[in-house]
Amino acid sequence: MRIALLTNEYPPHVYGGAGVHVEYLSRELARIESGAHAVDVFCFGEQHETQRNLRVRGVAPALRFTAQDPRHAKLLDALVRDLAMVGAVESPDIVHCHTWYAHLAGCLARPLTGAKLVLTTHSLEPHRPWKVEQLGTAYHTTAWIERTAYENADGVIAVSRAMKEDVETLYGVPPKRVRVIHNGIDPEEYRPTPDPATLRRLGIDPEMPIVLFVGRITRQKGILHLVRAIRHLQPGIQMVLCAGAPDTPAIAEEMTLLVAEAKREAAAEIIWIPEMLPRQDLISLYTHAAVFVCPSVYEPFGIINIEAMACETAVVATAVGGIPEIVVPGETGLLIAFEPERDGLAEPRDAEGFSRSLAAGINELIGDPARAAAMGRAGRERVLAEFSWLRIAEMTVEFYRELIGAELRPTAPSVRQP
């Protein structure tokens, strides 16, 4: 098959789970079945590389438009890149899109090329109403693009059972078009890798218990609720916040004020690392952490949890979206109940109660290091058994074949010139 993956994120420009997903999925799709499939990745950026049957092409906008609202610029930029992607795809059998950024390109490429359109549900706009803060009224356009794509897709890959239910409920996608295929991990890359020198370089004491958060500064990740929880943590703990890439200047300022307040009031030490760290540094942090905490208020899957589990770290996470399909309560970590507001998922109904529950879960595991260590070992065993990228790629190709049927156009050469 000739497979075109359309995405905003791809290394080195990765800031979320969708970028991680496309990076590893593309690699495994190119490897399986002795490299029989031609895999083209079209992404936002300047990338330009070819590795046998895997070809990556960054797409940069040829022109820019003046936005009525500065918050509309991201949408207009994506639309121009989408048009460039449509012109660049080469007779694909499958066009596989990731997030709304690339969905319009997929909708246009489907009738123009005759390819089957596949979407992976990394998130859904109706469950992210706080994006209005970042996009302004452009949020309503991104929601329309997303709905149009799901209404026209030949197949949908849901990264969790929870996302399958959401796609069917929100967009009326027939169940037969939806396949649940979880995200994955490379367990050879994400594995216990002690490195005290890296911690010291980052200002962290490797001898003191570490509670770790990794993620963007966005309401979706629940980072502000976690910062409010720090004052309830027992003393003798380091709370390490690897939190960068704020959605808006407003939430960046809110985060700054809350961290300053927590430093004045909390008994725990607080170390905020505001930049996105290299992967190897993160693996070292996962390894040394006594507890990894994922306070997300919306999480279609939660790939960061399996990253931590692969490094043998116990997890305290919110019981939302796909997280209960990853974290086994009492075995690989603890799940914290979350009751949303009636008008959306942006905030818990009882914000103070939610923060206290997060702190209680963290304190419970910090207070029992042997139990936390056992959960960490069980977590890696679960990752090895359930979340292999190779198996995910195999299931994805099986789904592609179901969609296009037995008759395929001739396969492209395994080695192509740029």
Beta-sheet strands, E only, within 124-259: 155-158, 178-180, 210-216, 238-244
Q: Where are the alpha helices (DSSP H) in 337-411?
A: 351-366, 369-386, 389-404
Q: What is the pLDDT along the chain (418 residues), one digit of tens a residue?
A: 999 999 999 999 988 889 989 999 999 999 999 999 999 999 999 999 999 999 999 999 878 888 889 999 999 999 999 999 999 999 999 999 999 999 999 999 999 999 999 999 998 988 888 788 889 999 999 999 999 999 999 999 999 999 999 999 999 999 999 999 999 989 999 999 999 999 999 999 999 999 999 999 999 899 999 999 999 999 999 999 999 989 899 999 999 999 999 999 999 999 999 988 999 999 999 999 999 999 999 898 999 999 999 999 999 999 998 999 999 999 999 999 998 876 555 678 899 999 999 999 999 999 999 999 999 999 999 999 889 898 899 999 999 999 998 444 444 433 333 3
If you ran DSSP here, which 8-state letter would residue 217 be given? S
**360 vs 169, 219, 232, 293, 306, CA distance in Å?**
34, 21, 8, 12, 22
pLDDT at 346: 62
Q: How big is the CA angle at 274 (ends 273 and 279), to the nearest 5 degrees? A: 70
**236 vs 210, 268, 299, CA distance in Å?**
9, 6, 30
pTM of the model: 0.82
Every domain of the chain with CATH number 3.40.50.2000 lies at: 2-184+388-404, 196-386
pLDDT at 417: 33
Q: Supply 328's token pair.
A: 């086994």
Superfamily of the domain at 2-184+388-404: Glycogen Phosphorylase B; (3.40.50.2000)
pLDDT at 343: 54
* Domain 196-386, second-level architecture: 3-Layer(aba) Sandwich (3.40)
pLDDT at 406: 40
